[in-house]
Structure 1
Amino acid sequence: TSRALRPVGELARAAERIGQHELSERIPVTGDDELGNLANTFNQMLERLETAFSEQKSAFAKLEEQYELQRRFTADASHELRTPLTRIKVSASSALGGTEGESDLKRALEIVDRSADDMDRLIRRLLLLARSDAGQLIQGSQDVDLVDLCAEFQKPAADGEPAVQIDAPEGPLFVFGDPDLLSRAIGNLVENAVRHTPSSGHVTLRLASDSDEIRVTVEDDGEGIPPEALPHVFERFFRVDSARSRSEGGAGLGLAIVKSVAQAHGGSVAIDSELGKGTKVTLRLPHKR
């Protein structure tokens, strides 16, 4: 009797060794009798459990990653909003103190006005990224001629800023998309290039195409970006120089918005830069079909 029940004992001991973290273990199958069929069935159940636990673990890891991204986004947004709010509070409190003259009161109101504008721009950008996260970035699409759209960004050198030159073909280059979003994305690229290029430098907005895509390239010979910063430039709130204030370097959302707009239109964006020599950013968009 004990010899006949030995396989049953081996099954029981093998089952005891299997737990949540040892689901990869299998019960040895010997023979094709009832005990062999039982072991096979048990092993199949273990395989299904192992797969289910693996999928659950992967899903939980993704949730943790999303939670961390959301936490960082909320913390960064709160930090960015705190600066203009502090300026508004200080200026308003000073004005309400009643000890300043008319010129000081006017200066305080000007600070409040500029700070409110900063907050408005930041909130609009945050809402745009929130729509992107929800998959609702594009509100309406139409034929957009990128040659016409890019022509709006040409400007001469003025006020200590370099000129922006356009290099584009004569004929139209159409994409199907949201003209406001495309204008915002290209405008962000031009704004970044102008901000980091001296007045004696050059900023060129170039258009080119082939049978599959249209390439919008903004190239400058400005200060460039350190190689260690390049992998992070499309991250939200990332600044190449963390010591910059928002007035000097923006909130670090411009390139993140460019990436979101590109992806929403089925395109992509890439950057190439060399410190001290300049930067080239290329926005790729599919041709209108």
Structure 2
Amino acid sequence: MNHDHLRILLEIARHGNFSGVAKQRNMDPSSISRVVRTVESELGVRLFHRTTRHVTLTEAGAAYLTQVSDLLDAIDAAGDRIKELGTNVGGMLRVTASVAFGQACLVPLLPEFLESWPDIQLELILADANLDIVAERIDLALRLSPRMDRNFVRVKWFDSAYKVCASPHYLASHGPIRSPADLSHHPCVLFGLPNPQADWLLRDSAGNVVHVSIKPRVCVSNGLAQRELALAGTGPALLPAWLAATDLAAGRLVDLLPDHTATPSDFDGAAWLLYPNRTLLPAKTRALVDFLKSRARPEWSHISPKRNLSSRG
């Protein structure tokens, strides 16, 4: 049953005529009459007694509209509640990210976000496998891959960059790395199992791209483990800037080729905020998306510290 038709019936019962309702709704009185005939035909009963001056409810009409009134009140209350949930920044917010990415970029920002929005309860799922956003009821996913389903909205968080890094201890004992070609002589710490990223692309300031085949010393499936091994002096590693930034700034890692842009696959990588394609985005999700966009750190996209002399020997 058309809800607006039911509201028209209630208005007729209150006004006692068709013309008042037609005037209030800026409709032709004949349109109001058609609504009444349509509903009565669907129900198979007469709802109103009609005279030239007055319209009154029949017994069936009074019984029907009493229940309809309660039903429409409940529908309006449900709508108000949903609108409140949509505009109120609160409730459970389920977020997912890979382990290393979440630890490095998301977790440090969460205390400020949660302090700003005290009515939000957060469930953070760190997993290196991409979770099914719909099945797992995920409100927001942080992803590093551009390959995403069209049914989801993606918002770029920041452009990603990679740095070829090693510890000062490793360089002191294994000699300098002055060019991309030097990397082929050093056993490196590679990311990715079962298919480690053994081919690195490096591009200089003139746009020249060099393809380097890397000899692995260790292959790991987790970025945090790769970083720890690089810090321990196991070998050079190709680390995302967002993972290496703090250690590079502190001198615990050295940017071996600061004049080059590096990548394991392509030079247009980015971090993305991904959420279900909804017409009305819940306020809690919008709050986190806006917050994260405002807190992206420049060093996650690019780092250009002065070359540490230990990288040249």
Q: TM-score, normalised by structure 2?
A: 0.19
Query: Which protein is richer in helix relative to its size?
Result: 1
Instruction: Specify which structure has the bigger relative contact order, considering alpha-carbon pairs within 8 angstroms and separated by 6 or more residues.
Output: 2
Greater strand share, 1 or 2?
2
Q: TM-score, normalised by structure 1?
A: 0.20
